[in-house]
């Protein structure tokens, strides 16, 4: 009897063990595990995106992660407001960093709301729609990292770092990364290749002539200020730039306003592309003011009288207590912005270290025939999609930096003389996640020493770039490189950081600095062919054929 009982119990235990092992095996291969393993943080994905639906797929997880991210962004915004209410107990630097975080959190809420609306409606997106959402989700990570960087720069308070930085880096950033990975896995398909050979789009702004479609009233304004020569005949084969309204800024009082900021105060909010541009024409002069194109000032164009004619200048710097983000003389957030024929400067000097001339975080933005002048961190290509054509860029350390998808075409890049014992790094690209569709592409540009560097003793080392963040990505193609470029090409950031994960590439460059046989041999450094280079052209990297024609700027879509 005892033996039969023992046998029965043993049989039951065996069946239970078999059932448990079968269930465990089934659970280990559930869709949730498989889906989350495709993200950088599978553990956080599984624990944060729990669902009772056994048939949930990558689209379900993607939608849920975006909604969860939106909730986290709103929570963080409230946290920044809580700390700002106690600003009397904080340093000026901490307050400025928090104000940056507040602005960036508002942008993240906007971007996540827009992304959620798209993914909730469709499981299949066009290439342009998918790129739009991937761009927004990429920018959310960039905004969050910018907030953390600013706190690190200026906020010495233990409570501030632990109260904001720790939860932001430990949870929010990872959740945003999961959302981006899930979206890319579910919705992003391989982009259709644009033109791979040279294809030039003539723009209405080309060669100093402007074909502007505007009202008789605005034409009269142009004529009154002596700008008749800018108007071409309406039967020109060049597309005209649609302009809804125009104002003139002139320091002598002959225009509508004497400052750019006053003109911006009357700009419309939330325009759409079909409305045409609100055009601010800024006559020659030196404008000592800090200009901000807010996120609501969409499809706005500022046109000056030319490089070194219309000059906008400021001198904020990190040394003087500003964050890098808010040290800029000119800041742009409004979608579709176009800047033409002006110089933007930061005159803080090399001694003040990080001091930004232009900070650009505007999607589908364009600068044509402009000059950006500074030393360290001159041009902050912060986020989203940007195009620069026939611009001059001056600087020393990391003077083209940020994490936008940015293409520079036919530009002049002038490394300057830095402080003693400093070296020049032209780029410091900030891609921090492998799924971000960001990077710096420098095409058909000229890289030469500025006058002060050219006349120096020749001991300054100048590099193509260095990896600011882990997945830094920069491509030089079809450009002239002067002899100032160090034969190594690229310089490390700190030790072996990002040497394996960054992506640095060169294609068909020319000039004495373009020789690649002496380049560093990091795994992330590549000499590429036309097929790979075409991925970083205007048509493919920016999908620029969809939005650049309206700007009036000329561009080449391919190689």
The values of phi and psi at residue 235, to 5°, are -90, 10
Given the residues 100, 392, 398, 433, the one annotated as active site: 398
Sequence-distant (≥ 6) Cβ neighbours of residue 545 within 8 angstroms: 194, 538, 539, 557
pLDDT over 50 at 228, yes or no: no
Residue 211 predicted with pLDDT over 80? no
DSSP states along 43-106: HHHHHHS--S-TT--HHHHHHHHHHHHHHHHHHHHHHHHHHHTTGGGS-HHHHHHHHHHHHHHH
> CB within 8 A of 498, min separation 6: which ones?
467, 469, 470, 471, 472, 524
Distance, in Å, from the CA atom of 349 to the CA atom of 326, rounded to the nearest integer, reads 16
pLDDT of 20 higher than 50:
no
| Phi-psi domain of 509 (left: phi exceeds 0; alpha: psi -120 through 50; beta: other) | beta
Residue 78: Cβ-neighbour burial (10 angstroms; 0-12, 13-18, 19+):
exposed
Residue range 377-404, pLDDT digits in tens: 999 999 999 999 999 999 999 999 999 9
Does the CA dihedral 391-393-398-402 come out positive or negative?
negative
C-beta atoms surrounding 405 within 10 Å: 28
Q: What is the pLDDT of residue 133?
A: 98
Residue 2's Cβ-count burial label (10 Å; 0-12, 13-18, 19+) is exposed
- What are the two backbone dihedrals, phi and then psi, of residue 230, each rounded to the nearest 5 degrees? -80, -15
| Residues sharing a CB contact under 8 Å with residue 503, sequence separation 6 or more, in sequence order | 439, 471, 472, 473, 474, 524, 526
**pLDDT (tens digit, 9 = 90+) per residue, 287-328?**
999 999 999 999 999 999 999 999 999 999 999 999 999 999
Sign of torsion over alpha carbons 240, 246, 250, 255: positive
Rounded to 5°, angle at Cα 51 from 46 and 55:
105
**pLDDT at 190 exceeding the cut of 70:** no
Model pLDDT, residue 212: 55
Please give the torsion angle defined by the CA atoms of residues 184, 189, 194 and 196, in that order, rounded to the nearest 10 degrees: 90
Give the tens place of pLDDT for each residue, 510-551.
999 999 999 999 999 999 999 999 999 999 999 999 999 999
C-alpha–C-alpha distance, residues 182 and 184, integer Å? 5
Lowest mean pLDDT among 47-56, 432-441, 541-550: 47-56
Q: What is the pLDDT of residues 67-112, one digit of tens each?
A: 999 999 999 999 999 999 988 888 898 899 999 999 999 999 999 9
Q: Is the pTM of this model over 0.75?
A: yes
Res. 24: pLDDT tops 90: no
Using the predicted structure, report yes or no on whether residue 27 has a pLDDT greater than 80: no
The answer on pLDDT for 163 being more than 70 is: yes
Residues contacting residue 52 through CB under 8 Å, at least 6 positions apart = none
Q: 3-state class of 154 per DSSP?
A: helix
Domains and CATH numbers, the chain: 32-187 (1.20.140.40), 213-230+239-551 (2.160.20.10)
Residue with tokens 């040290």: 327
Nearest by Cα to 255 from 227, 276, 283, 274: 283
Question: What does the CA dihedral 258, 261, 265, 268 come to, rounded to 10 degrees?
Answer: 100
Pick from 340, 342, 337, 447: which is nearest to 395 by CA?
Answer: 447
pLDDT at 355 over 50: yes
DSSP state of 538: H
* Of 29 and 386, the one with more pLDDT: 386
The pLDDT value recorded for residue 138 is 98
| Band of pLDDT at residue 16, cut at 50, 70 and 90 | very low
Computed from CA positions of residues 169, 155, 144, 407, in that sequence, does the dihedral angle turn out positive or negative? negative
Whether pLDDT at 115 is above 80: yes
For the beta carbon of residue 84, count every other beta carbon within 10 angstroms.
Answer: 15
Q: Is 532 a catalytic residue?
A: no
Instruction: Answer whether residue 466 shows pLDDT above 70.
Output: yes
Binning pLDDT at 50, 70 and 90, where does residue 220 land?
low
Distance, in Å, from the CA atom of 376 to the CA atom of 166, rounded to the nearest integer, reads 29
């Amino acid at each position: 009897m005892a033996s039969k009982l023992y046998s029965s119990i043993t049989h039951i235990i065996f069946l239970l063990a078999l059932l448990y092992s079968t269930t465990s095996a089934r659970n280990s291969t559930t869709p949730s595990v498989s889906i989350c393993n495709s993200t950088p943080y599978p553990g956080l994905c599984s624990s944060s995106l729990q669902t009772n639906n056994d048939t949930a797929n990558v689209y379900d997880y993607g939608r849920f992660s975006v909604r969860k991210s939106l909730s986290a962004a709103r929570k963080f915004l409230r946290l920044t407001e809580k700390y700002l209410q106690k600003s009397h107990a904080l340093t000026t630097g901490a307050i400025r960093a928090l104000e940056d975080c507040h602005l960036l959190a508002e942008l993240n809420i906007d971007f996540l709301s827009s992304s959620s609306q798209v993914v909730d409606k469709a499981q299949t997106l066009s290439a342009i729609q998918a790129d739009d959402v991937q761009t927004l989700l990429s920018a959310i990570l960039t905004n969050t990292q910018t907030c953390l960087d600013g706190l690190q720069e200026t906020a010495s308070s233990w409570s501030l770092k632990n109260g904001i930085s720790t939860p932001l880096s430990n949870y929010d950033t990872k959740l945003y990364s999961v959302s981006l990975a899930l979206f890319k896995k579910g919705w992003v398909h391989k982009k259709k290749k644009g033109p791979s050979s040279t294809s030039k789009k003539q723009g209405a702004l080309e060669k100093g002539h402007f074909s502007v479609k505007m009202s008789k009233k605005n034409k009269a304004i142009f004529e009154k200020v002596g700008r008749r020569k800018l108007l071409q005949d309406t039967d020109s084969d060049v597309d005209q730039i649609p302009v809804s309204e125009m104002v003139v800024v002139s320091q002598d009082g002959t225009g509508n306003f004497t400052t750019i900021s006053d003109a911006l105060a009357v700009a419309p909010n939330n325009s759409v592309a079909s409305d045409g541009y609100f055009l601010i024409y800024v006559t020659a002069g030196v404008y000592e003011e800090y200009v901000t194109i807010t996120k609501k000032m969409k499809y706005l164009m500022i046109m000056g009288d030319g490089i070194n004619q219309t000059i906008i200048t400021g001198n904020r710097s990190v040394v003087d207590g500003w964050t890098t983000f808010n040290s800029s003389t000119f800041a742009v957030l409004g979608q579709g912005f176009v800047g033409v024929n002006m110089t933007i400067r930061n005159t803080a000097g090399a001694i003040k270290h990080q001091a930004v001339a232009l900070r650009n975080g505007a999607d589908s933005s364009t600068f044509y025939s402009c000059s950006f002048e500074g030393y360290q961190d001159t041009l902050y290509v912060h986020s989203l999609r940007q195009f620069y054509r026939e611009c001059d860029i001056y600087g020393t350390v990391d003077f083209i930096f940020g994490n936008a998808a940015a293409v520079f075409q036919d530009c002049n890049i002038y490394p300057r003389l830095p402080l003693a014992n400093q070296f020049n790094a032209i780029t410091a690209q900030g891609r921090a996640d492998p799924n971000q569709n960001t990077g710096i592409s420098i095409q058909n540009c000229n890289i030469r020493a500025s006058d002060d560097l050219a006349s120096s003793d020749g001991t300054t080392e100048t590099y193509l770039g260095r990896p600011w963040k882990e997945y830094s990505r920069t491509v030089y193609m079809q450009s002239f490189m002067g002899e100032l470029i160090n034969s190594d090409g690229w310089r490390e950031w700190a030790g072996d950081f990002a040497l394996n994960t960054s992506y640095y590439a060169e294609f068909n460059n020319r000039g004495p600095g373009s020789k690649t046989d002496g380049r560093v041999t990091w795994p992330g450094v590549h000499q590429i062919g036309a097929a790979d280079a075409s991925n970083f052209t205007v048509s493919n990297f920016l999908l620029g054929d969809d939005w650049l024609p309206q700007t009036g700027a000329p561009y080449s879509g391919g190689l």
